[in-house]
Structure 1
Amino acid sequence: MSLFVRVALDHPLPTLFDYRYDLAPTPLPGMLVRIPFGRRDAVGMICEVTDRSDVPLDKLRDVAAICSTLAPLAAEWRALTLFAAEYYQRGLGEVALPALPQVLRDASRWAKLLAPEERYRLMPEGRASLPDALPARATALRRLAEALAASPTLPAADARALHPKARATLDEWQMRGWVSLETGDVAEQDIALAPQIEKAALHASDALLPQLSAEQADAVDAIRGAQGFAAFLLHGVTGSGKTEVYLHALADLLSARPDAQALVLVPEINLTPQFEAAFRTRFAALPEGAIVTMHSGLAEGERARNWLAAHTGRARLVLGTRLAILASLPKLSLIVVDEEHDPAYKQQEGLRYSARDLAVYRAKELGIAVVLGSATPSLESWWQAEQGRYTKLTLTRRAVATAVLPSVRLIDLEEERQRGRASVEGLSGPLIAAMKTRLERGEQSLVFLNRRGYAPILSCDACGWVAGCPRCSAYVVLHKPERALRCHHCGWESRIPKSCPDCGNVDIAPMGRGTQRVEETLATAVPGARVLRIDADSTRRKGSAQALFSDVHAGEVDILVGTQMIAKGHDFQRVTLVGVLNADTALFSHDFRASERLFAQLMQVSGRAGRAGLPGEVMIQTRYARHALYHALARHDYVGFANSTLAERRDAHLPPFVYQAMLRAEGRTLEAALDFLGAAAAEFTGLAGAERVTVYDAVPLTIVKVFNVHRAQLLLECASRAVLQNALRAWQPALRSLKVKGVIRWNVEVDPLDI
C-alpha cells in the first residue's frame, strides 16, 4: 500500500504539500523530512500520514529523507503552532519551522547534531586519586577535574571548552579507571536519580532559604494547590520578592514530580544571567543539563543543544525570552511569565505573536498553572483579573523587612527656570545635589533616560538644516564617542560634517540629550564620581552587559546612566537615588498605550531604589508636575491608575474592551502602499460579518520611510474577537490576490501594540 505524507513548509502559502513516502521507518506526524521543493531541497514537518492523495500521482514527488533519530514533535506542540498560525493569520509552516533551531532546518546537519552524545562520568577511583595526581599549577586540568566532580556526567563538548586537550587527557584518565565514557542519552539515568537528590536538597535546606512573608507564603500555597488550568496574576510592588515566589513554586513542582518541566519567561536577554544564577544556586542538585536557557543571543550550536534537552525531557527548567514559548516541552507542568506587562513579549517581525498570550493559551490546553508576575501588570491582564478569569495574588510590601518603597519627588522645571535656578546640560540643581550627597555616603545613584546616543538632532541655527537619514524619514542621532551620525532605524552611518552642508555655517550644534551626553555631563557635574553607561551601544559585544552589571553590583560604580535596559528586574542593593530625565514626551503621544507604558516604565525604574533597607528617593524632572500620572506614581498607586485608565478606555471603546487588527503595507512609494490598503479595504466590505467591524482610513506610519521603503497601515476594530477572526480569515484570499504595482510586502498583525 502506498503511503503519502502532508508536509508543512516555511512558505507564505497556508497549505500543506503532498509527497509520496517509500522510506523506512514508518512516518509519524511531527517528524521532520527533507523534500524537493521547486528547484531546491527544503525541510518540512509531517502533519498527516495517509494512504491517498488528491494530487495526481504523476505530479507527486518523493520524500528524500526522514529525521528518524529525533523524536516526533508532540501533538500538543503541533496544536500550539496550529493555533498560533490560525490566530495570527499565518501558514502553519511559517510558525512551526521557524520555531525550531536553525540546524534542524538544515538536513545536512542532522547526523552531526543528533549523533549519540559522548559524556564522561567520574568514577570513585578518580574522585579519590585525581586531586593528588594533578600538578599544582595545572589550572586547566583542575578546572576539568572540578567540572567532572561537580556533576553526574560531563558532556564532551563542555570538556573541550574547559581544556584544549581534553580528549587526550580524558582518554588517559579512562585507561587508569578514573573516568568512564558513556555514549547516548543518559537523561533517563539522571532522571531516575533526580527524585531522591532533589527531595533531600530542596527541602533539607529550607532553613537556609529566605523566610517567606505571609503574603509570599499565601501566593506559593495558591500556586501549589492549583488543580488543572489556573492563571495567576502575581501583582507585587517592586522588591516584594516575586522571584522567591517563583523559586518556591518551582521547587514544589520539581520535588513532587521527577519528570516535570517548567518554563520561565523573561522579557530581555540581559535579565537571563541573574535568573539563571538564582536557579543554578537553588537547584544545584538537579542533574547536568537540567537547567537550560533559550534566547537569540546564544550561539547556534548551544541553542540547538538546549532545545534538544527540552525536547527530550532532560531539561527540567527552561529559562528564555519570548521565543522559548514555542519550545518543545513534552512534560511541561508550570509556566512563569516575569514582567508580563513588557512590550518585548510581542514579536514585531515575521510571526507577530504575543508570548504572554500564548503562554496562557498553552497552559489552558495542557491544564496547568501559569503565573504572570509584575509590579505594573498590563491593563489587559489586570482586566482579566478584575473579571475573575485570573486569580489575583498580591504582594504589598517589600521582601526585606527594613526596605520601604522610595519617596517620589517631582522637580518642576518651569518653576526652577522662573526662580533662576541653574541647571547643567539638562540636569537640575536639586538632582545634582542629591547625587553628590549619595556619593559622600558611599551610595549609588541611577539616572534614567530612554534615549541613547549623544543627541537626537544635529542642526544648523543659521539656516535650519537638520541632519537626516537619506534612507529614512527620520533624523540621525549624534554618537560623539564614535564621531558618527547614525540612523537608529536602518543603520545608515556617516562622519560628522565640519560645517552645514546647506549654508556652510561651522557652528552646527547638537540639540537634545542622549545617554552619552548625560554621561559626559555627570563626569564634570559630580566630580570624583565613577560614572557608567549601560545601553544598546555599550553592550554590543556578547557578555558585555553581564560584565557591566557585575561592576554595578560589586560597588565599582557611583552613578549608573542608562535606558530601559536598567529599568526593570535588576536588584541593585546600593542604589538609593533614581533620577528620571525627559519623561514628558510620552504624555502627548498619539498612541493610546503611551501613558500605560510610561507609568510602568517609571514605576519599574523607581523600584530600583532602596531595595536593601536604605531609604530610597526618586526625582523626576518634568514640566507638567500637576499631571495625574505623576501624582499616581508618587503615591505608588498602580491600582488607582489602572482603574482610571480602564474607565477611559471603556468610554473610548479601546482595548481591552474591543479587539484590533492591523494591515500594514510597504511599497516603493507611499502612494503604492496607500493604494494597496484602499483596495484591501474595498475587498473587506463585501465579506460576511464585515458590517460589525470598523475599518479606519489608511494612514502613513509615524516614520513613513525606512530603508527607502514607504509604509502605511489600516486599522480594524471589533467588539467580538470571534467576528474579527472570522473576517480576517475570509479576507486572506483576497489580500493574496491583490496586485498593486510598487507594493513590496504586506502583513496582518492581530492585537497590535504599536499604532
Structure 2
Amino acid sequence: MSTYADVILPLPLENQYTYRIPADLESLVVRGSRVIVHFGKKRFYTAIVVDVHDRQPQTDYEVKEIFSILDATPILRRPQLRFWEWIASYYICKLGDVYKAALPSGLKLESETTVTYNPDYEADAPLKPNEQAVLDAFGRNVVKQTVSDLEKKTGLRNIVPVIASLMGKGAVGVNEELKQGFVPKTQTYVRLHPDWATEDRMQEAFDVVKRAKKQEQLLVSFLDLTHALNPVLKQEVSKKELLEKSGQSAAILDGLLKRGILQSYEKEVSRLQTRMCRLEEPHALTDEQQAAYGKILDVFAEKEVCLLHGVTSSGKTEIYIHLIRQVLRSGRQVLYLLPEIAITTQITDRLVKIFGDQLLVYHSKFSDNERVEVWNKLLHGKGPMLVLGVRSSIFLPFSSLGLIIVDEEHETTYKQQDPAPRYHARNAAIILAQMHGGKVLLGSATPSIDSYFNAMTGKFGLVELPVRYGAASPPEMILANIRELKRRKQMKDTLFSPILIEKMRQALESGQQVILFQNRRGFAPMIECKDCGWIPRCQHCDVSMTYHKFHQKLVCHYCGFTVRVPSECPECHSVNIRPLGFGTEKVEEEIALLFPAARVARMDLDTARTRTAYERIIGDFEKQKTDILIGTQMISKGLDFSHVAVVGILNADGLMNYPDFRAHERAFQLMMQVSGRTGRRDKQGVVVLQTSQPDHPLIQMVTQRAYKEMVSWQLAERSMFRYPPYYRLIILVLRSKNPTVLDEQSRQYAERLRRRLGDRVLGPVTPPVSYIQLLHIRKIVMKIEIAASIPQVRDILESVQQEMKQSTEFRQLLVHYDVDPL
C-alpha cells in the first residue's frame, strides 16, 4: 500500500497538494518536515508536510513522488501550523502566502530559471536592441545567469519573450537549477597533530623548530592558548585568534603545518554575535514603576492582554525587563516586539547586560543564514529564551511563550502592507499568545485608539504610568505660526522659525543636542517649471517624482523609477525649474549653512538602508559625536537619548492634512512621540512646533498633551461614520492594466457584494494614488460589524469571487483583500 503526504507550497495557493512518498523515504517523512517536490512542468520547491496518510487521492492526474527529504525531524512546532491557518483565515489570504512569509529564505530551497549563453552562436541578421542587450549582459567570462539577474542588468521589465526569441535562434539555453539555501558557517581551527601529543614528542618538536625562531614563538603561543598537553584544561583555538594573539603571520603557521606538528581543520560556528559580559541586575523600580508592575500582574491574573499607557520617559522598558526576568525564571519564553529595526540597536545593548546569551535578535537586516540560525536555536535549543525582533518574529518556532511584549503598539509598521499576508503583528501576537497560554503586554505613550477603546470597554486590562522617570518635567511646547512669520517676512528664505533657530543655537552652545523632524525624505517632494507649471511625474505611477539633490535624480517613492533631473523644461524649454516643498535632504543643507560647525546626521530610508548604517547613526548620536539629527518618523520610535535639549517639528500641517480617517490620530502620535525624545533625565527640554494652523483643535491637544481628549474627539467621529473600533474594515483592492475592464468589473463586483452584504459595501472608489507600477487601482470598502464572524464573511467573499471568475474579463484583474487596513 502506498503512503502519501499532503504538503503546503510557498506559493499563493489555497489548497494542499498530495504526493506519493517513495518506499525508501516512508519512515523518514513526518508532519512538519521539509521535502523537495516537483510542481508544474519543471519547477521544484521546498514543501512543508502537513499530513501523512494512506488515502488514495481522487484525481485523474498522475500523483507525483516526493523528490527528496530535507529534514529528519520537523522544522515546525505543533502550534505553528494552527497559527498559519488562523492568519490565512482572518486576513483572507492563501496558506502558501503565510508559509512564504513565515520561513526564512534560507530554509526555502527552490528552483530558479538559469539562462546559459552559447559561445558558438553567430547571428545571421542584426539582432533586435532588446536581444542584443541580453547577450551583452553576459560579458566576457559569464556564461550562465538567472532570469532575475538579467532583468536587473538589462533593465527590461518583461524579459521572458526576449529570452524565448534568443532560444529559438540558438543563442541561449534555459534550464532549472536548485537555489542553495542555508549554508552553515565554518571557520579554520588549529590543533596539535596526535603524533606530537606527548611531552617527549613536544620536546622533539621544539628541537625541530629551534632554528626557526618565529615558528618556535608561534608554537609556544599555541600551547599557551590551548593547553594541548593537559586533558583537563585543553581547549580549541581558531586560526584567526592564534595569529592575532601570537602576532605572527599566516606564512609562519603554514611552516608548522607543513612540518606536520600542527593540523588545521574546519569547524561549524555560529553567525550570531553573542557578546560575553558580566551580567547585571536590573535597575530597581521607582515607586511609580513598582506600582504599575504590581497592577500588570494583577491584570494578568484575570485577563490575557494588558495595555500599559505610560508617558514618554516614564521607564516602561524597566518594567518590561522585570516582567521578562520573571517569565524566564519560570522556564518559559518571551517575545519582545519592536516596530522598527532602529530601536533594536539601542535596546539590545541594555538587554544583553541582563540576559546574556538568553537573548536572540531577529529582523530583516540580518542575513538569511543568520535568521536560519536563530530559527534553529529556538527549534532545537533548550531552556528559556528572550527574542527581540520586529513583526516577522511572530512566525518563529516558539515552544512555550509565556509573554509577548508589543512596545510602541500604536505604530503602523506592525502592519504588513505588501505582499500577502497583510497581517497586523500586534493583533496576531494576541492570538499567538492564546495558543501558548501566555500573556500580552501592549505598551505606548500614545496607544492606538483601537487598543485604548478595548481597554476602556474591559476587553483589555489598563495600567497607567503618568509620571516621567525621576519626576522629570515634560518638555516646554512652543508654537511657531509660520503663516504669520512668512507674512512678516521673518521666514522668507528659511525653513526654520526665529524661535527654533534661537533654541538650537542655545542648545549647541551649551553642548546639548538637537533633533529635527520632517516626515519626507529627499530634497523636495517635487520640482516645477516656474514658467509653464510642468511637474515631472512617474512613467509607471500616478504620482509626482521626488527630487534627490545629492544624486541629482528624480525618484518615484512608489516603484523606485529614477531619472536624471532635466536641465530644462521639456514642455517650454525654460531653465527656470525650482523645487517645491522640502524633505530631510533640504533640511540638512540649510542646517549646514546656519550652523557650519555643527556635526549633522540624517536618518531616513536613504541613509539607513542597512543594519550597520542604523547602528552607526544612532551610536554616533548617543555618544554625542553628532550634534543635530535630522530624520523622518524613524527618529520618533522609542529611542532614548540623554542630551537632547531641543526638538523641532518642522511641518505639523503635513502630518494632519491627509485623506484618511486616522490622519489626526497618527499626527497626534507622531508629534507626541518625537516630542518625547527631549527633556529626559533631570532636564526640561523644548519642543518647537511649526504650523500654519496654531488654533487647530489637534495642535492645541498636542501642546496640552491631551491624549484622552483626542481619543474622545476621534471616537465620536468614528461612531458616527461607522469606522473602527466600532466596525471592522475590509478593503478589496482590484488592479489591472486595462482601466475600462477594471471599472466595469469592479462595479459588477461591488453590486454582487451589495446583494449579500447590503449597505456595508461602499464603492468602487478611486484612491488618491490610482495608478502604481503600470496598474490602475480601484477599491471596494466593506464596513463589517465587530461581532460578525470573519469565517462567515470570508465564505461570502469567496463565493462572490468564484462568481466573478466566470467572466473571462475578470482574469485581467489582480485582486487581494486588506483586513483591518492602516
Give the TM-score, by structure 1 length. Answer: 0.85
Give the counterpart letter for 1:524 in structure 2.
Answer: L
- Say which SS state the counterpart of residue 654 (structure 2) adopts: helix
Identify which of 347, 358, 371 aligns with 1:303. Answer: 371
The answer to whether 1:8 aligns with 2:77 is: no
Report how far residue 671 of structure 1 moved. Answer: 2.7
Give the counterpart letter for 1:620 in structure 2.
Answer: L
Q: Distance in 2 between matches of 1:627 and 1:153?
A: 69
- Say which SS state the counterpart of residue 747 (structure 1) adopts: strand
Q: Which moved more, 1:175-184 or 1:219-228?
A: 175-184
Match of 2:777 in 1: 711
Report how far residue 620 of structure 1 moved. Answer: 0.5
Q: Which moved more, 1:238-247 or 1:57-66?
A: 57-66
Q: Which moved more, 1:601-610 or 1:406-415?
A: 406-415
Give the counterpart letter for 1:37 in structure 2.
Answer: F
Match of 1:279 in 2: 351
Q: Distance in 2 between matches of 1:480 and 1:653?
A: 44
Kept in 2: contact 1:313–1:331 (CA 8 A): no
Identify which of 91, 95, 100 aligns with 2:94. Answer: 91
Equivalent residue runs for 1:332-343 within 5 Å? 332-343=401-412
Residue correspondences, number:
706
Kept in 2: contact 1:231–1:360 (CA 8 A): yes
Q: Distance in 1 between matches of 2:236 and 2:702?
A: 50
Q: Which moved more, 1:102-111 or 1:175-184?
A: 175-184
The answer to whether 1:644 aligns with 2:713 is: yes
> Aligned Cα RMSD in Å?
3.8
Kept in 2: contact 1:670–1:712 (CA 8 A): no
Q: Distance in 1 between matches of 2:78 and 2:236?
A: 32
Equivalent residue runs for 1:617-628 within 5 Å? 617-628=686-697
- Say which SS state the counterpart of residue 270 (structure 1) adopts: helix
Identify which of 377, 383, 386 aligns with 2:447. Answer: 377
Q: Distance in 1 between matches of 2:237 and 2:722?
A: 56
Give the counterpart letter for 2:2 in structure 1.
Answer: S
Q: Distance in 2 between matches of 1:348 and 1:82?
A: 19
Give the counterpart letter for 1:212 in structure 2.
Answer: L
Distance 1:481 1:256, change over 3 A: same
Match of 2:291 in 1: 218
Match of 2:33 in 1: 31
Q: Distance in 1 between matches of 2:681 and 2:93?
A: 48
Kept in 2: contact 1:340–1:377 (CA 8 A): yes
Report how far residue 532 of structure 1 moved. Answer: 1.9
Q: Distance in 1 between matches of 2:587 and 2:433?
A: 45
Identify which of 426, 437, 440 aligns with 1:367. Answer: 437
Q: Distance in 2 between matches of 1:460 and 1:135?
A: 75
Kept in 1: contact 2:504–2:514 (CA 8 A): yes
Distance 1:444 1:72, change over 3 A: closer
Report how far residue 442 of structure 1 moved. Answer: 1.3
- Say which SS state the counterpart of residue 788 (structure 2) adopts: helix
Q: Distance in 2 between matches of 1:223 and 1:741?
A: 52
Provide Cα deviations, 1:471-516, integer angstroms capped at 9, x if missing partner: 2211111111111111111111122111111111111111111111
Distance 1:595 1:657, change over 3 A: same
Give the counterpart letter for 2:483 in structure 1.
Answer: E
Report how far residue 676 of structure 1 moved. Answer: 2.6
Provide Cα deviations, 1:143-176, integer angstroms capped at 9, x if missing partner: x99xxxxxx999999989999989x99x99xx99
Equivalent residue runs for 1:93-242 within 5 Å? 93-106=96-109, 113=182, 206=281, 209-224=282-297, 226-227=300-301, 230-242=304-316
Provide Cα deviations, 1:34-60, integer angstroms capped at 9, x if missing partner: 222122222211222222134248732
Report how far residue 456 of structure 1 moved. Answer: 1.2
Match of 2:572 in 1: 503
Match of 2:464 in 1: 394
Give the TM-score, by structure 2 length. Answer: 0.79
Report how far residue 613 of structure 1 moved. Answer: 1.7
Report how far residue 678 of structure 1 moved. Answer: 1.7
Identify which of 657, 665, 677 aligns with 1:608. Answer: 677
Kept in 2: contact 1:239–1:607 (CA 8 A): yes
Match of 1:243 in 2: 317
Report how far residue 216 of structure 1 moved. Answer: 1.7
Q: Distance in 1 between matches of 2:766 and 2:91?
A: 23
Q: Distance in 2 between matches of 1:379 and 1:538?
A: 32
Report how far residue 539 of structure 1 moved. Answer: 1.9
Equivalent residue runs for 1:466-545 within 5 Å? 466-545=535-614
Q: Distance in 1 between matches of 2:216 and 2:351?
A: 33
Identify which of 651, 655, 659 aligns with 2:728. Answer: 659
Q: Distance in 2 between matches of 1:511 and 1:375?
A: 34
Q: Distance in 1 between matches of 2:523 and 2:448?
A: 32
Equivalent residue runs for 1:706-745 within 5 Å? 706-723=772-789, 725-736=791-802, 737=805, 738-740=807-809, 743-745=812-814
Report how far residue 113 of structure 1 moved. Answer: 4.5
Report how far residue 643 of structure 1 moved. Answer: 2.4
- Say which SS state the counterpart of residue 15 (structure 2) adopts: coil
Q: Which moved more, 1:737-746 or 1:436-445?
A: 737-746
Kept in 1: contact 2:547–2:554 (CA 8 A): yes
Provide Cα deviations, 1:404-438, integer angstroms capped at 9, x if missing partner: 21011111123323444345422111111111111
Match of 1:125 in 2: none
Report how far residue 452 of structure 1 moved. Answer: 0.8
Kept in 2: contact 1:572–1:611 (CA 8 A): yes
Q: Distance in 2 between matches of 1:98 and 1:642?
A: 34
Kept in 2: contact 1:121–1:153 (CA 8 A): no
Match of 2:338 in 1: 266
- Say which SS state the counterpart of residue 647 (structure 1) adopts: helix
Provide Cα deviations, 1:251-301, integer angstroms capped at 9, x if missing partner: 1122232xx2211111111111112211111112x4xxx322221111111
- Say which SS state the counterpart of residue 664 (structure 2) adopts: helix
Match of 2:330 in 1: 256
Give the counterpart letter for 1:213 in structure 2.
Answer: T
Report how far residue 444 of structure 1 moved. Answer: 1.0
The answer to whether 1:679 aligns with 2:748 is: yes
Distance 1:501 1:627, change over 3 A: same
Whose radius of gyration is greater, 1 or 2?
2
Kept in 2: contact 1:292–1:317 (CA 8 A): yes
Provide Cα deviations, 1:527-566, integer angstroms capped at 9, x if missing partner: 4322222211122344112101111111122222111111
Give the counterpart letter for 2:308 in structure 1.
Answer: L
Equivalent residue runs for 1:693-712 within 5 Å? 694-712=760-778
- Say which SS state the counterpart of residue 466 (structure 1) adopts: coil
Q: Which moved more, 1:242-251 or 1:420-429?
A: 420-429
Kept in 1: contact 2:182–2:368 (CA 8 A): no
Provide Cα deviations, 1:165-211, integer angstroms capped at 9, x if missing partner: 89x99x99xx99999999899x9xxxxxxxxx99xx87xx54xx423
Give the counterpart letter for 2:732 in structure 1.
Answer: L
The answer to whether 1:752 aligns with 2:799 is: no
Give the counterpart letter for 1:376 in structure 2.
Answer: T
Kept in 2: contact 1:661–1:752 (CA 8 A): yes
Give the counterpart letter for 2:343 in structure 1.
Answer: L
Report how far residue 6 of structure 1 moved. Answer: 1.5
Report how far residue 66 of structure 1 moved. Answer: 2.5
Q: Distance in 2 between matches of 1:212 and 1:134?
A: 57
Q: Which moved more, 1:612-621 or 1:521-530?
A: 521-530
Kept in 2: contact 1:118–1:155 (CA 8 A): no
Kept in 1: contact 2:303–2:461 (CA 8 A): no
Q: Distance in 1 between matches of 2:712 and 2:190?
A: 58
